Structure 1
Amino acid sequence: MNDTADCSTLGDKTALRRELRRRRRTLSPSQQKQAAITLCQRLKQLPEIQRSKRISLYLPVNGEIDPTPLLPWLRQRKVSIYLPVLRPFSANCLWFVAYRESTPMVKNRFGIAEPCSRFAADRRNRLPAWALDTLIVPLVGFDQQANRMGMGGGFYDRSLAFMRYQGPAPTLIGVAHACQQVATLPVEPWDIPLGMVVSDTMVIRPTKTG
């Protein structure tokens, strides 16, 4: 169900985040599983995914839609897979670290599994964000123009700030449950725009203007 709620009807952004996170947590395990399967079927059909050789995705928590059913398909295609890792000694920034079946994992301060610090600190296991082909990123909410609402920490916006300027850059694909769509979201100056949003029911690309 796509609700038409926005910040004006749900109060401020904190209240909107709380409501959208509640929506996705109300989905049953079977609904979550089916949504993940359908999402990954849609992702496989995207040219941006089919031609990617270096992809970052995430491990879901707190009801986030699960992109990991894509992993066997990516590995079969010899795609290099990366995960976002909290960068040490840096305010709310991310490293992108190789994720293999043998990668040693730990939980970070948010309870999210990520490659352990010793593995991540080895530069041979990392890739700069600009060298990735595609980033699949989680959303708290999205709207009809593919605007994204994240958790509020600014991790992706800070880590991808280079995309405001010309140069190599990955395609950003936001993914979410359909129930996380709202009519409109506020756009802040520091927001890094998405190339598209993919849910279990649709693909939304921003309308080009000018």
Structure 2
Amino acid sequence: MPDKQTVRKCMGELRRKVGMNAHAGLLKMLSRALQEERRVLTVGTYQPIGSEPDINSELLRWSAADGARALALPWCTDREASCMEYRLWDPCEKLEADAAGIPGSRKGACVVPDVLLIPCLGWTRSRRRLGYGGGYFDRYISKLLESGASPRLLGVAYGVNEVDDSLFEPHDLPLDLIITDSGIF
């Protein structure tokens, strides 16, 4: 069984080869998933880096349909400790690099989103997520759960990036849903 680092490399290569049809299918499934999330006012999204799916066109449409809806982006406050928070995102705002070098909203107010859309390098049908291994999302989610907050956790991936459950350990908690171009799991 290959280790997580080997699988991460392979999944990144697969994701880079995904075509426009898969991307369009992913946006369609994302739209469907958001329609099911009826009480959501704030969605935590991400600015894609590398080959991560760019889902923000769909999210901008979603937020524009209701003036009460808002989008937020992660902001890394301490790279060494993998600490991050979410800040409200004004799409007209010029994004700045955070402590991890990822574009985000320096000026936005800190919020706890109702839903977090989390990019996945790999995913399983039991809704586990393979990330880059930095621990940013895991630490943020743990901190939220400890505080009593319970946002919906939705992974975003391409169908080709499905991996085997044997990669994961019992402490790797599942997400609420995984959204892919081939379906919602």
TM-score, with length taken from structure 1: 0.77
Alignment CA distance shift 1:126-1:72 (3 Å): same
For residue 134 of structure 2, what is the aligned residue in structure 1? Answer: 153
Distance in 1 (CA, whole Å) between partners of 2:79 and 2:136 is 14
Q: CA deviation at 1:84?
A: 0.6
Distance in 1 (CA, whole Å) between partners of 2:23 and 2:100 is 22
- Give yes or no for contact 2:128–2:173 (8 Å, CA) kept in 1: no
Q: CA deviation at 1:108?
A: 4.0
- Give yes or no for contact 1:157–1:190 (8 Å, CA) kept in 2: no
Q: 2:150 aligns with which of 169, 180, 185?
A: 169
5+ residue gaps, structure 2, are none
Distance in 1 (CA, whole Å) between partners of 2:49 and 2:144 is 27
Alignment CA distance shift 1:109-1:93 (3 Å): closer
Q: CA deviation at 1:110?
A: 5.2
Task: Single out whichever of 103-112 and 92-101 deviates more from structure 2.
Answer: 103-112
Q: 2:169 aligns with which of 160, 185, 188?
A: 188
How far does the alpha carbon of each residue in 1:79-136 deviate from its partner, in whole angstroms, 9 at most, with x for none? 11000111147610111011112323123465532123xx25xxxx111x3xx21000
Identity fraction in percent: 25
Distance in 2 (CA, whole Å) between partners of 1:185 and 1:51 is 35
Is 1:113 matched up with 2:116? no
- Give the total of aligned pairs: 182
How far does the alpha carbon of each residue in 1:25-73 deviate from its partner, in whole angstroms, 9 at most, with x for none? 123xxx1x43333222212222543431011011112111121121122
Distance in 1 (CA, whole Å) between partners of 2:89 and 2:145 is 27
Alignment CA distance shift 1:169-1:90 (3 Å): farther
Q: Provide the alpha-carbon RMSD of the alignment.
A: 2.2
For residue 97 of structure 1, what is the aligned residue in structure 2? Answer: 87
TM-score, with length taken from structure 2: 0.87
Counting strand residues as a fraction of each chain, which structure ranks higher?
A: 2
Superposition pairs of residues 193-204 of structure 1, within 5 angstroms: 193-204=174-185
Is 1:22 matched up with 2:9? no
Q: CA deviation at 1:200?
A: 0.6
Alignment CA distance shift 1:150-1:49 (3 Å): same
Distance in 1 (CA, whole Å) between partners of 2:99 and 2:143 is 26
Q: Which has the larger radius of gyration?
A: 1
Distance in 2 (CA, whole Å) between partners of 1:183 and 1:14 is 14
